[in-house]
Amino acid sequence: MTAALTITNYGLDYATAAGAVAVLRDISLEIAPGEVLGLVGESGSGKSSLAWALMRHLPANAREVSGALRLGDVDLQALGPKQLSTLRGRRIGMVFQDPSTALNPTLTIGRQITEALMRHRELNARAARDLAVELLGHVDLRNPAAILRRYPHEISGGEKQRVIIATAFGCRPDVILFDEPTTALDVITGARIIELFARLRAETGVAALYISHDLGMMTRVADRVAVIRHGRVVEQAKAFEIFRRPQHDYTRSLIAAVPRPERRLVHDRPGEAVLLEARGIDVHYGRAGLFHAAPPPATKAVDIDIRAGEIVGLVGESGSGKSSVARALTGLARFDGAIRFDGRTLHGAGDMSPAYRRDVQIVFQHPDSSLNPRHRIGEILSRPLKLYGGDVASVPRLLEQVRLPASYATRWPHQLSGGEKQRVAIARAFAARPRLVICDEITAPLDVSVQAQIIALLLRLRAETGAAYLFITHDLNLIRQIAHRIVVMRQGQLVDSRAVDAFGAEDVHPYTSELMAASPVPVS
Amino acid sequence: MSLAWLLRRLLLMVYTVVIVSVLVFAITQALPADAAQTLLGENASPEALAAVRTRLGLDDPVWLQFAHWVTRAATGNFGVSMRTGLPVAPEMLTALSRSLLLAASALVVTLVIAVPLGIFAALRQGRAADTMTSIIAYLGVSLPEFVTATALALLLTDILPWLPATGYVSPLEDSGLALRHLALPILTVSVILIAHVMRMMRSETLDVLQSDYVRAARLKGLPERTVLVRHVMRNALLPVITIVALDVGYLLGGIIVIEEIFAIPGIGRALMIAITTRDLPSIQAGAMIMAVTYAITNTLADVVYALLDRRIRYD
């Protein structure tokens, strides 16, 4: 039987000012009809470039240096623009990483589904609409007819991804490429999308190439897994075997980086003294205007205690108010309630003394936007040193502390990788010699292996300085490795708070057990 | 777009107009012009001046004068011209209609040329066609109006004698001749505006072409024409609408040079004459009419924007 998708000895370069950069080399992969092949690799490994090559949507500077791409018996590289546009969507579909940007904000959901159905299923507008209602119902969206009339901003991220999946499956393609379809979603929503994918593939028998950086998740979605590194496939195996018997060192390091709650990385106990005591924190955004009332508070009466040297995990899905708590504690958001720190009680950002602001530092999720692109690394690090009376000459020491070469002081942020930028952001927080560092989803944009390095760095810095962490994340497996205590937030309220070893207890909040169910550990 | 939003937006427009009316009245009060003196001439006797002042209410407190003026103005009565003795409002409205005809035609010509040109340049980004359109567009915007106007007039009336050089004919009398008279000023204004709108359209199109949803539309297998018209143009046009609404302000007040050169009796020219002859009622009427037209245009632009982009709520 012909394979659904065949990649033979494929090589790809990007032409740059500095010469050709090899992106993919000697890639040979085959996907049988109805099979799901997982492609795992870190950012920059070339896995997305392979997807763009298959969709024939390569950037202008791409040069295909070798090999062949075949969809069934069609030679993809030989297709002209016209043949390509009849083949895309119809025979090879794609589901994108970020559903919030993949839908056109000015067109209704209905329009964006039916335009594909009308083109590829040769339906008239009415029949396409009826089919769209049926398809949306089939991906478990309630009231599909109403959703068709909505605009993308009127539905949630998970619903958007369901719409995109319904569109892709609706044209009945032979192969669908999934490019990290759950990365931009929170844990529970992502888990539901994976369930949906499993059901639809069983029903339709579609073949799929499923791209992800998360090897743990692959064991649940793919039949076979290919591991790609620096543009080369280093290992291919059955999904259930790769965890048990990894052959390549790189695969082993990827497996080691997958967070597992039973593998604790912190063994000490926190001090008894309470460092920060927050009571009844209500965070407000916006004020009442001439024509409208103030929006409801983003958090409601949140109480949090953090002891000296303690690691507190703060988990919850997006929109639960986790980041709002961080913004209140650092004086970035207006709040009601009280914060007790170091024997003083603060009732608002105006009460925060320079000493408090020095003691409580924050590291943000996206180093790209938290590091000023017009400042060199040395400048970025010397700012807090000057502000808090440190010695500017200690910049090299700070860089060394986060395992970056001292020569990086003269570099610009854009010359660094994502992980390196996050190290700089961490160094900037520690330049103030804080007693509490708030980490707001700081590993979410990073690969699993880089995440493991950043966590190791944070734990070492804590051992050296005795700082406490409030670690905000949606990754329950990760936080159970490092936190002493975990608090769970939902819809602005704190619903659960317990020591990490009491997490398996029976009296956990129903929402906490739902979160745990959505974060299964890898099959092994 | 909700009804409440629409009402709020209209209320905002009314606010704007009220504030403008205060400003217009205050400015005409501050002008070094005595209405009685202007009426009676240099050699009027003090008694006659005093009599006229009483009749016009010029001795009343300022707030009372404003109250009188604003209640009359609200019903479209701006008084009579000190120069001609005729009611000023109809005269100014006629002038406005001529300017609006010029402005609207120039806007249509500009959009018809600039929008496709902007998309075209974006699709050919960095290539010769893109560079050429940019150079020509910049040439149009960087030359002063009177240079463009003179050059076009020389070319189209003298070297190639196709069009009449100056003058205005009402389209109600002879639409063909009216169009021939309007062609040169429309062309001149368009040359200036096209660069503006086209550059904006080009950069917006480039942004939208980079977006994930355009990529998604292409990878759904939609034909390129559908992608461009339905997914690219619609989104790229949004910021352009705001820019065009601002350009209307320029078209109404700023094309006085063009009205002068081509002898079009429009609102800019009427206002200029009113100012040089210190004809206070005409100044007030002209300024108010322009402000109201501008406020209406911007409200319309906001409404169109909100219809095209449903994310807009302003709440």
Which residue, A172, A207, A231, sits at the end of a domain? A172
Q: Is residue A216 part of a domain?
A: no
Name the strand (E) or helix (H) holding B304.
helix B280-308
Please report which confidence band the pLDDT of residue B315 belongs to, taking 50, 70 and 90 as the band edges: very low
Max mean pLDDT range (A186-190, B10-14, B44-48): B10-14
Helix axes B145-153 and B175-209, enclosed angle (nearest 10): 130
- Over residues B90-113, mean pLDDT: 90
**How close A195 gets to chain B, by Cα (Å)?**
23
The pLDDT, as a whole number, for residue A1 is 63
**Would you call A87 an interface residue with chain B, using a CB distance cutoff of 8 Å?**
yes
CATH number for the domain that contains residue A397: 3.40.50.300
Structure-model confidence comparison of residues A277 and B33, the more confident one: A277
Collapse the DSSP code of B196 into the 3-class scheme (helix H, G, I; strand E, B; otherwise coil) and give the result. Answer: helix
Q: Which residue has the tokens 């009460």?
A: A351
Among all residues of chain A, which has the CA nearest to that of B216?
Answer: A102
Report the C-alpha gap between A362 and A329 in whole angstroms: 9
Among all residues of chain B, which has the CA nearest to that of A288?
Answer: B315
The pLDDT, as a whole number, for residue A289 is 65
The pLDDT, as a whole number, for residue A139 is 92
Q: Is residue A38 part of a domain?
A: no
Long-range Cβ contact pairs of B268-271 (< 8 A, separation 24 or more)? B268/B99, B269/B95, B270/B91, B270/B92, B270/B95
B216/A85 CB distance under 8 A: no
Assess whether A280 and A158 both reside in one domain: no
B216/A102 CB distance under 8 A: yes
From the list B220, B230, B231, the residue facing A116 with the nearest CB is B220
**How close A79 gets to chain B, by Cα (Å)?**
13
**How close B172 gets to chain A, by Cα (Å)?**
41
Among all residues of chain A, which has the CA nearest to that of B211?
Answer: A101
The pLDDT, as a whole number, for residue A361 is 96
The pLDDT, as a whole number, for residue B150 is 84
- Over residues B72-81, mean pLDDT: 85
- For an interface test with B, give the residue of A48, A79, A82, A85 to mutate (most B CBs within 10 A): A85
Q: Is residue A193 part of a domain?
A: no
The pLDDT, as a whole number, for residue A262 is 84
**Would you call A57 an interface residue with chain B, using a CB distance cutoff of 8 Å?**
yes
From the list B212, B222, B235, the residue facing A102 with the nearest CB is B212
Q: Is residue A334 part of a domain?
A: yes
Q: Is residue A215 part of a domain?
A: no
Q: Could you tell me if B196 and B142 are in contact, meaning their C-beta atoms sit under 8 angstroms apart?
A: no
From the list A101, A120, A167, the residue facing B213 with the nearest CB is A101
CA A283 to each of CA A95, A216, A333, B97: distance values in angstroms, whole numbers, following the listed order: 36, 36, 7, 54
Residues of A in contact with B230 (CB under 8 A): 107, 115
Assess whether A150 and A298 both reside in one domain: no
The pLDDT, as a whole number, for residue B84 is 82
Q: Is residue A418 part of a domain?
A: yes
For residue A340, what are its two tokens?
A: 């007790």
Report the C-alpha gap between A6 and A75 in whole angstroms: 10
Q: Which residue has the tokens 């051992």?
A: A463
Range of the domain at A441: 274-518
Residues of B in contact with A103 (CB under 8 A): 213, 216
Q: Is residue A369 part of a domain?
A: yes
Which residue, A125, A155, A172, sits at the end of a domain? A172
Collapse the DSSP code of A108 into the 3-class scheme (helix H, G, I; strand E, B; otherwise coil) and give the result. Answer: coil
A85/B211 CB distance under 8 A: no
**How close B185 gets to chain A, by Cα (Å)?**
36
Residues of A in contact with B222 (CB under 8 A): 85, 89, 115-116, 119
For residue A228, what are its two tokens?
A: 């790609």
Q: What is the DSSP letter of A154?
A: G
Assess whether A161 and A285 both reside in one domain: no
Report the C-alpha gap between B50 and B54 in whole angstroms: 6
Non-local CB neighbours of B259 within 8 Å, separated by 6+ positions:
B99, B102, B185, B265, B266, B268, B269
The pLDDT, as a whole number, for residue B312 is 66
B219/A57 CB distance under 8 A: yes
Q: Could you tell me if A492 and A299 are in contact, meaning their C-beta atoms sit under 8 angstroms apart?
A: yes
A116/B223 CB distance under 8 A: no
Among all residues of chain B, which has the CA nearest to that of A151?
Answer: B310
How many domains in chain A? 2
Q: Could you tell me if B235 and B259 are in contact, meaning their C-beta atoms sit under 8 angstroms apart?
A: no
**Would you call A132 an interface residue with chain B, using a CB distance cutoff of 8 Å?**
no
Residues in chain A, pLDDT under 50: none
The pLDDT, as a whole number, for residue A186 is 81
Assess whether A164 and A303 both reside in one domain: no
Helix axes B234-249 and B175-209, enclosed angle (nearest 10): 130
**How close A314 gets to chain B, by Cα (Å)?**
32
- Classify residue A349 as left (phi > 0), alpha (psi -120 to 50) or beta: alpha
Model confidence over A143-181: pLDDT tens digits? 999 999 999 988 888 899 999 999 999 999 999 999 999
Collapse the DSSP code of A184 into the 3-class scheme (helix H, G, I; strand E, B; otherwise coil) and give the result. Answer: coil
Q: Is residue A391 part of a domain?
A: yes
Q: Is the pLDDT reported for residue B101 higher than 60?
A: yes
The pLDDT, as a whole number, for residue B176 is 77
Model confidence over B203-257: pLDDT tens digits? 999 999 999 999 999 999 999 999 999 999 989 998 888 888 888 777 776 677 8
B216/A164 CB distance under 8 A: yes
What is the torsion angle, in degrees rounded to the nearest 10, for the CA atoms of residue B249, residue B255, residue B256 and residue B259?
-130
The pLDDT, as a whole number, for residue A292 is 65
β-pairing, A274-284 with A334-341? antiparallel
| ipTM surpassing 0.85 | no
Which residue, A134, A153, A172, sits at the end of a domain? A172
Among all residues of chain B, which has the CA nearest to that of A115?
Answer: B222
Residues of A in contact with B304 (CB under 8 A): none
Collapse the DSSP code of B255 into the 3-class scheme (helix H, G, I; strand E, B; otherwise coil) and give the result. Answer: coil
B213/A102 CB distance under 8 A: yes
Of A239, A187, A221, A203, nearest to A95 (Cα)? A221
Structure-model confidence comparison of residues B51 and A278, the more confident one: A278
Q: Could you tell me if A482 and A456 are in contact, meaning their C-beta atoms sit under 8 angstroms apart?
A: no
Instruction: Say how many CB pairs under 8 Å bridge A and B.
Output: 79
